C-alpha cells in the first residue's frame, strides 16, 4: 500500500464519516427526546437530496404536495385532540402551523421553481419542505402514542419508513438522481485534492456537532428537551410542553437529514431507497455513542466511515459485514462499562 492510497481512503472515509456523524446526531437527538428510534431518518436524507436535485432541474418535487397533505391531517388531529377545549388561540396556531406554513412553502416552490433558480434558493426550498414533513410526521404518527413502549414506537417508526420510502418512489421514480455541487472551488495539498463540496461537508458537520452539544448542554430549551426524555410526567409537571419538545426534535432531525442529503447528492447518485442504508450507518455511530453522547457519536461516525472506506478497498465483498459486525464488541464493552440498571418499563 502506498501513502497516496492511504490518504485517499482516509479522506473518503472521513467525508462519509462526517455525513454519518450528522445522521447519528439526529438519531441521538430524536431518541433522547422522544424515545423513538428514527428509522425514517434515511427518508429525510433522500427527500432532501432528491427534492433539491429535482428543483435543480426546474421541476417541482411531489414532496411539496406531501407536506400540504400531511399538514391537513395534522390539522384534523390537532382539532380532534383539542375538541373539548377549543379556543381561538389554539385554532389560530393550528391553522398557522398546519395549513398556512406548508401551503406557503408549496406555493413558494411552485412560484420559484425553474431551470434558472439559484442554488441557494433551491436548497432553502428543499430544507423547508423536508422540515415541514418531519414536523407533521411526529404530530401524526408519534404524538398519539408518545406514552407507549420503545418497542411500539419502533414498530410505528418502521411503518413510517415503509410509507415514506414508497412515496419516495412515487415522487422521484426508480432512477437515481444527482444534484449540482454547492461550489466548484477545489484546493490541492500535496497529492490530495479537497473539493469545495467535501470542505462544506466537514464544516457543516463540525458546526452542527458543536451547536447541538452547546444547545443541549447549556440552553434552557435544550435541557427541557432532555428532561422530557428522562421523565415525561415529571417534565410536564414542571411546565415543559412535551409535545412541543417532540415536534422540535423531529424538526431538527429532518433538517439535519435533508442537509446531509443535499451535501452528498452532488458526490454520489442517490436513489429513492438509498437513505435506509446511509441512515443505518449513522445509526451504528449513534449506538457506539450510546445514544446519548454527541462528541462520541461524531468520533464513532468517522471511525465507521474510515472502516468502510478501507474494507471496500481490501474486501469489498464483505464491506457491509465488517461495518455491521464492528458494532458488536463495542456494544459488549458499553454494556460492561454501564452494568445493568434496573429498568421500570412495560
Residues making contact with another protein (CB under 8 A): 140-141, 144-145, 148, 150-152, 154-156, 158-167, 169-170, 280, 283-284, 287, 291, 317-318, 320-321, 324-325, 327-328, 331-332, 334-336, 338-346
CB 17 within 8 A of CB 272: no
CB 269 within 8 A of CB 10: no
Indicate the residue among 284 and 306 with the shorter CB distance to another protein: 284
- What minimum distance in Å lies between the beta carbon of 87 and another protein? 26
Q: How many helices (H) and strands (E) does the chain have?
A: 15, 2
Indicate the residue among 141 and 265 with the shorter CB distance to another protein: 141
- What minimum distance in Å lies between the beta carbon of 161 and another protein? 7
Look up cell 414498530; give the residue.
Answer: 155
Indicate the residue among 111 and 340 with the shorter CB distance to another protein: 340
- What minimum distance in Å lies between the beta carbon of 334 and another protein? 6
- What minimum distance in Å lies between the beta carbon of 197 and another protein? 29
Indicate the residue among 223 and 334 with the shorter CB distance to another protein: 334
- What minimum distance in Å lies between the beta carbon of 25 and another protein? 16
State how far the Cα of 37 lies from the Cα of 295, in Å rounded to an integer: 19
- Classify residue 88 as exposed, middle or buried by CB count within 10 Å of its CB (0-12, 13-18, 19+): exposed
Helix extents (H) in 219-293 = 220-230, 232-237, 242-264, 275-288
- What minimum distance in Å lies between the beta carbon of 339 and another protein? 7
Indicate the residue among 180 and 319 with the shorter CB distance to another protein: 319
- What minimum distance in Å lies between the beta carbon of 118 and another protein? 33
Q: What is the DSSP string of 275-329?
A: HHHHHHHHHHHHHHTTTT-HHHHHHHHHHHHHHHHHHHHH-GGGHHHHHHHTHHH
- Of 151, 156, 142, 154, the C-alpha closest to 345 is 151
State how far the Cα of 309 lies from the Cα of 189, in Å rounded to an integer: 21
- What minimum distance in Å lies between the beta carbon of 12 and another protein? 20
Indicate the residue among 42 and 266 with the shorter CB distance to another protein: 42
CB 48 within 8 A of CB 260: yes
Look up cell 481490501; give the residue.
Answer: 314
Indicate the residue among 220 and 233 with the shorter CB distance to another protein: 233
State how far the Cα of 157 lies from the Cα of 234, in Å rounded to an integer: 25
Indicate the residue among 110 and 314 with the shorter CB distance to another protein: 314
State how far the Cα of 238 lies from the Cα of 332, in Å rounded to an integer: 37
Indicate the residue among 26 and 204 with the shorter CB distance to another protein: 26
Look up cell 458499553; give the residue.
Answer: 334
Measured at the CA of 248, the angle between CA 247 and CA 252, to 5 degrees, comes to 120
- What minimum distance in Å lies between the beta carbon of 103 and another protein? 22
Amino acid at each position: 500500500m502506498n501513502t497516496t492510497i492511504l490518504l485517499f481512503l482516509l479522506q473518503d472515509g472521513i467525508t462519509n464519516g462526517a455525513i454519518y456523524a450528522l445522521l447519528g446526531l439526529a438519531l441521538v437527538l430524536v431518541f433522547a427526546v422522544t424515545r423513538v428510534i428514527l428509522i425514517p431518518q434515511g427518508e429525510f436524507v433522500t427527500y432532501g437530496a432528491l427534492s433539491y436535485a429535482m428543483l435543480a432541474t426546474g421541476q417541482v418535487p411531489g414532496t411539496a404536495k406531501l407536506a400540504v397533505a400531511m399538514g391537513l391531517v395534522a390539522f384534523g388531529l390537532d382539532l380532534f385532540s383539542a375538541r373539548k377545549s377549543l379556543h381561538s388561540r389554539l385554532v389560530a396556531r393550528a391553522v398557522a402551523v398546519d395549513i398556512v406554513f406548508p401551503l406557503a412553502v408549496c406555493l413558494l416552490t411552485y412560484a420559484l421553481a425553474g431551470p434558472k433558480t439559484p442554488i441557494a434558493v433551491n436548497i432553502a426550498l428543499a430544507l423547508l419542505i423536508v422540515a415541514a414533513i418531519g414536523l407533521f410526521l411526529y404530530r401524526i404518527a408519534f404524538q398519539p402514542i408518545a406514552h407507549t413502549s420503545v418497542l411500539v414506537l419502533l414498530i410505528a417508526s418502521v411503518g413510517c419508513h415503509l410509507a415514506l420510502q414508497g412515496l419516495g418512489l412515487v415522487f422521484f421514480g426508480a432512477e437515481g438522481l444527482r444534484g449540482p455541487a454547492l461550489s466548484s472551488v477545489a484546493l490541492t495539498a500535496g497529492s490530495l485534492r479537497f473539493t469545495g463540496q467535501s470542505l462544506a461537508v466537514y464544516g457543516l458537520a463540525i458546526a452542527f456537532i458543536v451547536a447541538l452539544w452547546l444547545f443541549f448542554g447549556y440552553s434552557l430549551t435544550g435541557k427541557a428537551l432532555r428532561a422530557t426524555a428522562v421523565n415525561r410526567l415529571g417534565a410536564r409537571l414542571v411546565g415543559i410542553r412535551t409535545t412541543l419538545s417532540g415536534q422540535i426534535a423531529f424538526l431538527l432531525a429532518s433538517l439535519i437529514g435533508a442537509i446531509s442529503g443535499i451535501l452528498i447528492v452532488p458526490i454520489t447518485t442517490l436513489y429513492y431507497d438509498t437513505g435506509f442504508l446511509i441512515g443505518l450507518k449513522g445509526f451504528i455511530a449513534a449506538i457506539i455513542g450510546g445514544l446519548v453522547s454527541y462528541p462520541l457519536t461524531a468520533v464513532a461516525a468517522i471511525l465507521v466511515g474510515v472502516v468502510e472506506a478501507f474494507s471496500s478497498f481490501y474486501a469489498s465483498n464483505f464491506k457491509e459485514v465488517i461495518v455491521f459486525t464492528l458494532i458488536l464488541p463495542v456494544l459488549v464493552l458499553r454494556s460492561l462499562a454501564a452494568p445493568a440498571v434496573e429498568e421500570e418499563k412495560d
